[in-house]
Amino acid sequence: MTTQTLAFNDGCLDLIDQTRLPAELVTLRCENVDQTFDAIQRLVVRGAPAIGIAAAYGVCLARQPDGTRSRQSYLDAIEYLAKSRPTAVNLFWALDRMKAIVDSVGDDDTLPERLLCEATTIHDEDRQMCRDIGRHGAELLGDCHRVLTHCNAGGLATSMWGTALAPIYHLHEAGHAIEVFADETRPLLQGARLTAWELAQAGVPVTVLTDSMSGSLLKTGQIDAVIVGADRIAANGDAANKIGTYPLAVLARYHRVPFYVAAPSSTFDPALASGDSIPIEQRGRDEVANPHGVKLVPDAANVINPAFDVTPADLITAIITERGIVMQPSREKLASLLGW
């Protein structure tokens, strides 16, 4: 069983501080909206589904300056939290659901209870999503024994099994021998720090490689499939995921290895025609130039640090959702499955 990434206890949001892994397992408690915003922005909590859940609970922490609750304080919290990360569409999807509750209830005394109920529902739905993606993805990975992944799309990115790792956990629980090769995922090392940590905790064999090694590994023929998550998927199936995913998809295509994307329906953005319109978050210089306080880049050198890249749909063998699998994804196929 994976570690519980987040929980709402005693009127506060408790998060595993993923910036501290794997050195130490520490829980950060958020007691207000500002602390929740900071936790999302600093990647204390990360992964599109987990960000959405955390933001929903964050709305429940809204207060006026005098400590009272009001409809306006919740609306202000929703607007504020929407600015924490720009790419993960689950954030906006969850906040839209919370806003719909505010709009429908108004200043009624039951509003806090209704909002917490909605946030809890989002959380519960995420757990079921993980199970369903695991079940569907296992159909594609059932004959695989060595799988390559990038970044972290496991339990730490959701509330249970994750998306890309959900089929791995499903097969592992069923007794299927499967090994994961995890890209290090520079510059923040989510693969090395997080994916390797949670898989090791669950007893799943895992091997870490630097991002630049993946092509050579694929060339050996040892990898049966590549599976990754996504932070936003456009209507045509173009998928934004952690930087480094796109070149991995190109390498997988060249070496004739299937490339799968696993994501819930809440990650799709049918309003965007293609991946060209997906906003790509640009993060700070220090993540590349001074990671963990160690200076690696001279001051005179410029740094670029996009958090995500976009993989075109024609490089994706299949997209796995909680509602089923779409082979060779297209706008028409996705619309049919997801009911747009």
- Output the known binding site for substrate: 46-48, 85, 190, 241-242
User: N- to C-terminal Cα distance for the chain?
Assistant: 34
CA 51/CA 244 separation, integer angstroms: 21
Residue 282 has which token pair?
């640009």
* Residues that constitute the known binding site: 46-48, 85, 190, 241-242
CA distances from 11 to 60, 146, 291 (A): 8, 43, 34
Nearest to 182 by CA among 160, 168, 173, 174: 168
Catalytic residue, candidates 132, 231, 269, 309 = 231
Residue 2: DSSP 8-state: -
The residue length of the chain stands at 340
In the sheet that 268-269 helps form, which strands lie side by side, from edge to edge? 268-269, 232-234, 239-242, 308-311
CA 164/CA 129 separation, integer angstroms: 12
239 CA to centre of own chain: 12
CA 199/CA 178 separation, integer angstroms: 11
CA 151/CA 5 separation, integer angstroms: 16
Nearest to 2 by CA among 178, 173, 176, 143: 173
Amino acid occupying residue 198: E
CA 248/CA 151 separation, integer angstroms: 12
Contact yes or no for 318/327 (Cβ under 8 A): yes
**Cβ neighbours, 10 Å, residue 73:** 18
Instruction: DSSP for 167-229, please give it.
Output: HHHHHHHTT---EEEEE--TTTTHIIIIIHHHHHHHT--EEEE-GGGHHHHHHTT---EEEE-
183 given a catalytic annotation: no
Alpha-carbon dihedral 81, 56, 42, 274, rounded to 10 degrees: -80
**Cβ neighbours, 10 Å, residue 22:** 15
Q: Which residues are catalytic?
A: 231
